[in-house]
Amino acid sequence: MPGFPIDVHMSEHGLLDSIADDVRRGLSAPQKFLLPKFLYDEEGSLLFEQITELPEYYPTRTELSILTDIADELMGRVAPREIVELGSGSSTKTRMLLDAGYNAKTLAKYLPFDVSQTIVESACVELQQRYPDMELHGVIGDFERHLGLVPPPVGKRLVLFIGSTIGNLEPKERLELLGEIRKMLAPGDCLLLGMDQVKDIGVLEAAYNDAAGVTAAFDLNVLSAINNALHADFNVAEFRHRAHYNRDLDRIEMHLYANSAQTVHIADLDMTVEIAKAESIWTESSHKFTQDTATAMLQEAGLTLDAWYTDSLRYFGLALATAQGLALDPHMSLRRGD
């Protein structure tokens, strides 16, 4: 038995089980699509960890370098008693902040929240070794549906939403989610939001079309996930992955293109899908931000930007925000990388 509780609000397959309507809607649309959260079944989560180590995939190492630089200062100023991390994955980068809070003896509790139970469990096993005196409490759920089920705070709270996962949501959805996150913040509490920044298109497209083909495997895996969960018969080998940048909407769009015309049966939905040769299924968007667009988005969601952290190339940005009217410290207005 692990020495930490894990609240399970959905099983590993629960996400896929509960998505019948989303899959039906997505595969009936003129531009077929599947939602990005379906990419993270057990296999998908493992593949994403490999993506974070690819030479072309700059976001993880850039965000890690910023977090490494700011950890002591940030954790000293905010001094949270607990960190709730949404879409926590392996919690690898988070360790910079956990180390700082643990060593300062201010941080007592960490709550990783993710759709993937396997990844949260393995992260907690490692974290327990690293921080024997810290309380761990895993939450398995969908942050678009289960935020209200996060255990009540034990003190000052820092909500972490890093990895640019916010960029996978459409503007309306991310506004709704930020509004829900706002409700989790009491006076003195903060949100730290990580966002990939608008940059050279060559750099962006290379990051999502890596030479080793790991992103392709990650993307294609969503078809296997649907096959497993809904008894479908996608012929995965007959699709190929391609990501391109949409300059008008500042986002990477990942698609799976059919190499040949296909008829796919989804038994659990009693559904047949016709896919033409070269037609695509849109599997993920990854929106890119600037400091201005990030500030406007936070503002619209009832949050105030207190500090903005970036790297020397301005490849990645981390916004520290508070709920409007509940400012952390009026004198705190940091800016790195200027």
Chain positions contacting ligand SAM, by CB under 6 A = 37, 40, 45, 48, 52, 60, 87-89, 93, 114-116, 142-144, 162-163, 165
| Residue-wise DSSP of 53-105 | TSTT-HHHHHHHHHHHHHHHHHHHHH--SEEEEET-TT-TTHHHHHHHHHHTT
Question: At residue 166, what is the residue type?
Answer: I
State the DSSP H helix or E strand holding residue 273, giving kind and residue range, or none if neither.
strand 271-275
Helix, strand, coil share of the chain (percent; to 5): 40, 25, 35
| Residue-wise DSSP of 247-275 | TTTTEEEEEEEESS-EEEEEGGGTEEEEE
SS3 call for 39: helix
Q: Which is nearer to ligand SAM, 160 or 303 (CB)?
A: 160
Minimum distance of ligand SAM from residue 138's CB (angstroms): 12
Contact 252, 285 (CB under 8 A): yes
Of 55, 49, 66, the C-alpha closest to 196 is: 66
Which residues partner with 284 through β-bridges? 254
Q: Which is nearer to ligand SAM, 89 or 302 (CB)?
A: 89
Minimum distance of ligand SAM from residue 196's CB (angstroms): 10
Q: Which is nearer to ligand SAM, 92 or 295 (CB)?
A: 92
Q: Which is nearer to ligand SAM, 144 or 176 (CB)?
A: 144
Give the β-pairing of 32-33 and 6-8. Answer: unpaired
Minimum distance of ligand SAM from residue 25's CB (angstroms): 16
Minimum distance of ligand SAM from residue 238's CB (angstroms): 26
Minimum distance of ligand SAM from residue 90's CB (angstroms): 7
Q: Which is nearer to ligand SAM, 45 or 273 (CB)?
A: 45
Q: Which is nearer to ligand SAM, 189 or 284 (CB)?
A: 284
Select the residue whose beta carbon is closest to ligand SAM and give its number: 163
Minimum distance of ligand SAM from residue 121's CB (angstroms): 13
